[in-house]
Amino acid sequence: MATNIHKLLLSTILVLVVLFQSNQLFANTDVHENDEGKEEVFNPGEMIQHHITDAPDWHIVSIDGHHYSIPLPVILYSSQRGLAIFSSSNFHNETETYNGYQLEHNHIIAVDAAGKVDESVHLYNVSITKNVASMMLSAVLLLVLFLSIAGSYKKRKGLAPKGAQSFFEPIILYIRDDVAKSMIGPKYEKFMPYLLTIFFFIWFNNLLGLIPAGANVSGNITFTLFLALATFVITTLTANKYYWAHILWTPGVPLPLRIIILPLEVIGMFTKPFSLMIRLFANITAGHIIVLSFLGLVFIFKTIAVAAFGVPFALFISILELFVAILQAYVFTLLTALYFGSAVHAHEHDEDHAQGHEAAH
């Protein structure tokens, strides 16, 4: 009985999410006239781009043509104008300027007195954008959640896990036993804080991106770039001499082949984090685009038949994205552990390779 209630509740929530997204699309598809007096039709490309890209404010809901957003701090610096800090609420639309700055397709540009782009100003934008605010929110959620779980372990030492502790403990143990231990080996412990952090950080951000008005953090290439860069830096700094020997002068291989393999191994050092970056970015972005595309079909064709087809498919993809959210966090963590393992126990692999090469002779 309880299982059926949980399934019904989850299905209801997912339907409400899709209906809310549909409502937001409808609120943004009002027909209006352009400068030539012609009616502009619904542009699905612009709609999708608006929903998956970052923004200087956090748009919550649109009701009767009115857009309600949470203003965020805009922090700009340039050597020509100095430091500028103000609220994103000062950008009422993309035609108005504020203190010599203008919002253009969610990007802030410097303009002159005539309202034209000022090419002489080189801006450094370190604003708290929608994606940054969402990352801060997920970090706070993680801290509150796991500090409470840690407190439960201290209070209930030796007792069976309870509440959130019972839900997250199997996941943590799985990451430790089936990911870290199996991929890294005996030296897995020093990598556990990082592996657990990236797994839950990616997972929570993916889930927050699925809720109405959520930020598409993992669909931001900068976010995945820095995660991949962190993995690359840790791999490089913790690698032992046998790892570098394998990269720079592969043992057990004839000299002519070593010369050929050297550039391939060096390139491989960079393609591994690059694949991490692209895989996470592409999979999360693709899911959002597919859902928005199915919902957008309703407003393109404006028929109930298309709605009967598009909304169920959007609901199905939304359910699938719940699985993709944790799957992509797992894949990123698994490959990260694999790269760490290749860096810290390459010696054993090289010895086996050298022995096999000698036996062949």
- Taking alpha carbons only, the member of 320, 323, 339, 337 closest to residue 197 is 337
- Taking alpha carbons only, the member of 360, 129, 342 closest to residue 246 is 342
- Taking alpha carbons only, the member of 286, 215, 295 closest to residue 24 is 295
Could you state, in order of their start, the residue ranges of all structural domains in the chain?
Answer: 73-127, 130-360
Q: What is the pLDDT of residue 65?
A: 60
352 pLDDT above the threshold of 50:
no
CB-CB contact of 25 with 49 (8 Å)? no
The Cα–Cα gap between 87 and 141 comes to: 25
Amino acid at 332: F
The winner for highest mean pLDDT among 52-61, 237-246, 277-286, 338-347 is 277-286
Q: What is the pLDDT of residues 156-207, one digit of tens each?
A: 787 787 888 889 999 999 999 999 999 998 889 999 999 999 999 999 999 9
Q: Which of 197-206, 212-221, 303-312, 351-360 has the lowest mean pLDDT?
A: 351-360
- Mean pLDDT score of the chain: 81
Write out the two tokens for 112.
Answer: 């002159």
Q: What is the pLDDT of residue 171?
A: 93
Q: What is the pLDDT of residue 214?
A: 83
Q: Whole-model pTM above 0.85?
A: no
The whole-number average pLDDT for the span 95-124 is 84
349 pLDDT above the threshold of 50:
no
- CA 302 and chain centroid, separation: 33
Crossing angle of helices 44-52 and 255-301, in 10° steps, is 120
Write out the two tokens for 129.
Answer: 């954008």
The whole-number average pLDDT for the span 51-75 is 81
Burial 194-223 (b: 16+ CB within 10 A, else e): bbbebbbbbbbbbbbbbeebbbbbbbbeeb
Helix (H, G, I), strand (E, B) or coil at 83: strand
Phi, psi of 32 (to 5 degrees): -140, 170
Count of all residues that appear for the chain in the document: 361
- Taking alpha carbons only, the member of 207, 237, 224 closest to residue 318 is 207
Residue partners of 92: CB distance under 8 A and separation at least 6? none
